[in-house]
Structure 1
């Protein structure tokens, strides 16, 4: 009986279980990818867009490789909803979002407020608000504005900042956080 049990446990399964234990025991990693290691060699992201009514729940990375079809789906999901323009979203931004979602330990998807912004959309937003950067990382597909039901802006921002992998902005008045794969920094309240 023990031989059957022992033979049914693969080396990969054993190493995955060991790695998952190591992730739980380790207090921090130097970047978002560190938080995603040991998760069974997959990365997954769940999101909803209130702007388009679309949802995405996809595994986008398996055993060291980004899945091209899933990344195409992500690029479309993160599009500028005002004009339908798309851009290749930086995988580092997606990894930061996924790592933060894992740390929040919630079954709720993110709500995507803003992903890619075309130059026209960014200019329009700048004309209506002083809080929109002229050279926003949204223009390069390197940023996302997110909220999550059941998690506060403070909880989300702490989780994102603990990844130590990019910028984290708190927008408590509008109930969302900004994450990006630029320099490590934080702002807002």
Structure 2
């Protein structure tokens, strides 16, 4: 009877891991906002976390939990589940983008219509001074972020605002991460 108990525990853990992710209202996710713009007829809108670790580990992930719902003509609300900061062992600079998954492969591909903003999500395993970053070509390349000081976990850097004591700023929940094209 004893060998059966560990097997049952292992089976129940596997079943819990395989269950579908819970879909929540957009504002119940750690990152939420709106998507605006013209996308044409019947777009296949998805969200992806794209960016790069420091140095050089490129990420393009649209399998992260998300909810994107229409809120009117050419307008959507979204919620996005950011990975726990502890899964990153190096600092990184990322954006969540909306894209029309034209080839339906559930991944952002260069050439697909995309919406983004000027806010960067900077994650760090510790409080740190991050060096300046130049982005890979598939993210537009050539756009460099300045050297900055960040706190452990997720931080948001708004390029439209001056770098300072409140930019970047750490967060656990970020509302108003609006995307447009």
Q: Common fold, TM-score beyond 0.5?
A: no
TM-score (norm 1): 0.28
When you count strand as a share of all residues, which structure comes out higher? 2
TM-score (norm 2): 0.29
1 or 2 for the larger relative contact order (CA 8 Å, sep ≥6)? Answer: 2
When you count helix as a share of all residues, which structure comes out higher? 1
